[in-house]
A and B are shown apart, each in its own frame.
Chain A
Amino acid sequence: MTAVDETTDPNPTDPVTETPANGARAHSHGAGTVPDASRAERVTSYDVADFAVPRGREEEWKFSPLKVLAPLFAEAAADADETAHVEVSGPDAVEHRTGTPAEIGAGAGFRPGDRAAAASWAATTQAHLVRIPAEAELDAPVLVTVRGEAGRTTSGHLLIEAGHHSKGLVVLDHVGGGAHRGGVEVRVGDGAQVTVVSLQEWDDDAIHVGQHDVLVGRDAFARHIAVSLGGKAVRISANLRYAGPGGDAQLLGVYFADAAQHLEHRQFVDHEATNCKSYVEYKGALQGEGAHAVWIGDVLIRAAAEGTETYELNRNLLLTDGARADSVPNLEIETGEIVGAGHASATGRFDDEQLFYLQSRGMPEADARRLVVRGFFADIIGRIGLPDLAERLMATIETELAATMPGAHDALQAVATGTSTTTQTTTEEN
């Protein structure tokens, strides 16, 4: 996919900023909007009262459709039952328990970072624990289904605890309608290797705000994959922290935003431990009037986090006119002793040369487009590691794609919000 870079940033910087993953280079994009003095200063709290109802002026809410999301900012009434309908299945080795967040031991790796998350935490009476015992290697995925109901607001908390040196895959599937706020807490034990996939396969009218905190143990590998296809408005914040040195983590995502659909993905990677790696890659396609995708990639490398290696990347493919993609990478580096740090963001449209090549091999235009879109998403969806699921997701994407094909690919609008990068210290390191 050739990127067509367009930007309407009031402080335009290079819209595609690529920094090689080894050898940090000094950035000079200080002119962009800096949300807070530092991302580290953003409030986290279990108390709803610590978060005002967002009005839309706040940096972290300025892209979100607050009217649509309003039900998720309300505190649950004392007598309300907001228990989400959850089904859990998986291999025998996996332990599943329910209880209050306190009863299942939730919270050690999770702190609400916004009003919806705090309200959800407060309203959750039945949280779910999925525990992969230490050293267990699962031979099949754990499947957790959250089923929303039209007309209801549900809250929930899922704690995924992977014991040390365990290996496993958990697929969390959000289906149905209504309004859902959900916390996901992933605690990855030392040396464990865990993938958590969060599928947003909501009905068209559903709204969802979710916070997913991943805590990576020493020398552990964690992968979080968000796949947002359904819903009216979905906002997933994935936060990554390291409990010890040597952790390696990936935050991946794909999304397909249709007309009038808002899909927002925010990540915060907080590097404090030494010698950890992070890799963020989100790819999305947008089509139709009012399709809106937001990607905010915050990475903080604290002074203590020597030996850090990080890279973040967001690519948007605009399939029609009237769609808008906001893409904001934000990299804060407080130590020079890092292996590498970089980011890239690009928003583009179909590459005519690619389409010509495929058509010159006999494929009708619609088929050629389908193949290009399939290819665009294939890599990340393939990394889920479940061929049947990958095929199902591809089929959903192709069904959505069929709605606009053959599309008007000449008239496109890209609003890349540009890059806002705060860099305290960046120096060359071998």
Chain B
Amino acid sequence: MATLEIRDLHVTVAEADGGVKEILRGVDLTIRSGEVHAIMGPNGSGKSTLAYSIAGHPKYTVTSGSVTLDGEDVLAMTVDERARAGLFLAMQYPVEVPGVTVSNFLRTAKTAVDGEAPKLRTWVKDVKQAMDDLRMDPTFAERNVNENFSGGEKKRHEILQMELLKPKFAVLDETDSGLDVDALKVVSEGVNRSLERTDVGVLLITHYTRILRYIKPQFVHVFVDGRVAEQGGPELADALEESGYDRFLAKA
């Protein structure tokens, strides 16, 4: 049983004009293994900022607060150390890596995260199976990472990595956006498989409730203006489905 704890997190970004803008204004969240937490919020409320701050993106500066993984100071770790400690971020906009094939990328990542190269035989089988489960064509493995991928392919590729790298905690940033219903089901099944097999804790960031029909959160946090405005169980998501974010925005 692992715990990811975020306490009073404040984060700023440097603006183009040289100014500094505070985006996260005191976030508190505790996630345990096997739990699914949905973070819902309007555009620009700081959801991706939270995701990137946990992963350690250099663009974001943590000005106060803490993030710990089983008591270890995550904020003191480099980006790659966080990944090796068991954190995973499925990105809203995954980046192209020209000239690097998916298969090479996956193997390199797996080796880095585990600290040793995977056994070739089982690894090849695992990759094949995971790609098959996500309805990804085998030829995909020889394409360059995210290069000319459709929106849906990028998201499948992110979930593929989650399934293969087996993190302790996964932050999924708008994994549902840009997916049609079929793809949404396939990708959700992938997340659910990880939940069953690895006891991963999931922070599911989304703007809409539709992915919550397939991935059932135990906790729902409404994110407004850089902090959690309200939290509750799955019923909170249903309420948002009905009334939208207006009620929170009015308050903010």
Contacts and interface: CB of A to CB of B under 8 A. Distances in A.
Contacts of B95: 351, 353-354, 356-357
A359 B99 contact: no
Nearest to A368: B80
A354 B109 contact: no
B98 interface: yes
A99 interface: no
What is the predominant secondary structure among interface residues of chain A facing chain B?
Answer: helix
A9 interface: no
Contacts of A361: 83, 105, 108-109, 112-113, 161, 165
B203 interface: no
- What class of interface size applies to chain A in its complex with B? 20 to 34
B99 A379 contact: yes
A107 to B, nearest CB: 39
Interface string B100-120: 100011001100110000000
A375 B144 contact: yes
Contacts of B88: 360
B78 interface: yes
B31 interface: no
Interface in A102-138: none
B197 interface: no
A377 interface: yes
A374 B144 CA distance: 12
A363 interface: yes
Nearest to B110: A362
B98 A356 contact: no
Interface string A357-384: 1111111110110011011111100000
B84 A375 contact: no
A1 interface: yes
Contacts of A377: 99
A378 B99 contact: yes
B97 interface: yes
A371 B105 CA distance: 9
A364 B112 contact: yes
Contacts of A358: 97, 105, 109
Given A356-B57, A357-B91, A362 B99 contact: no
Given A356-B79, A359-B79, A361-B113, A371 B97 contact: yes
B148 to A, nearest CB: 14
Interface string B109-133: 1001100000000000000000000
A352 interface: yes
Contact of B109 (A362, A372, A375): A362
B94 A357 contact: yes
B55 interface: yes
Interface string A200-239: 0000000000000000000000000000000000000000
B57 A362 contact: no
A197 B165 CA distance: 40
Contacts of B99: 374-379
A371 B84 contact: no
A408 B198 CA distance: 39
Nearest to A351: B95
B138 interface: no
Contacts, number: 79
Nearest to A375: B99
A368 to B, nearest CB: 8
B89 interface: yes
Contacts of B58: 352, 356
B89 A360 contact: yes
Interface string B64-99: 000000000000001110111000110100111111
A377 B100 CA distance: 10
A353 B95 CA distance: 7
Most central of A358, A367, A368 by chain B CB within 10 Å: A358
A378 B100 contact: yes
Nearest to A381: B99
A372 B112 contact: no
Given A360-B55, A360-B89, A354 B165 contact: no
B78 A359 contact: yes
Given A357-B94, A375-B144, A379-B99, A362 B89 contact: no
A362 B112 contact: yes
Nearest to A379: B99
Contacts of B79: 356, 359-360
B80 A374 contact: no
B111 to A, nearest CB: 8
Interface in A6-35: none
Contact of B80 (A351, A359, A371): A359
Given A356-B57, A357-B91, A375-B144, A362 B97 contact: no
Contacts of B82: 360
Contacts of A363: 80, 108-109, 112
Given A352-B58, A357-B94, A364 B100 contact: no
Contacts of B96: 354
Q: 4 nearest interchain CB pairs?
A: A375-B99, A362-B112, A378-B99, A361-B109
Interface of B: 55-58, 78-80, 82-84, 88-89, 91, 94-100, 104-105, 108-109, 112-113, 144, 161, 165
14 contacts: A1-B98, A351-B95, A356-B55, A356-B58, A358-B97, A360-B80, A361-B105, A361-B108, A361-B109, A361-B112, A363-B112, A367-B108, A371-B104, A375-B100
Interface of A: 1, 351-354, 356-365, 367-368, 371-372, 374-379
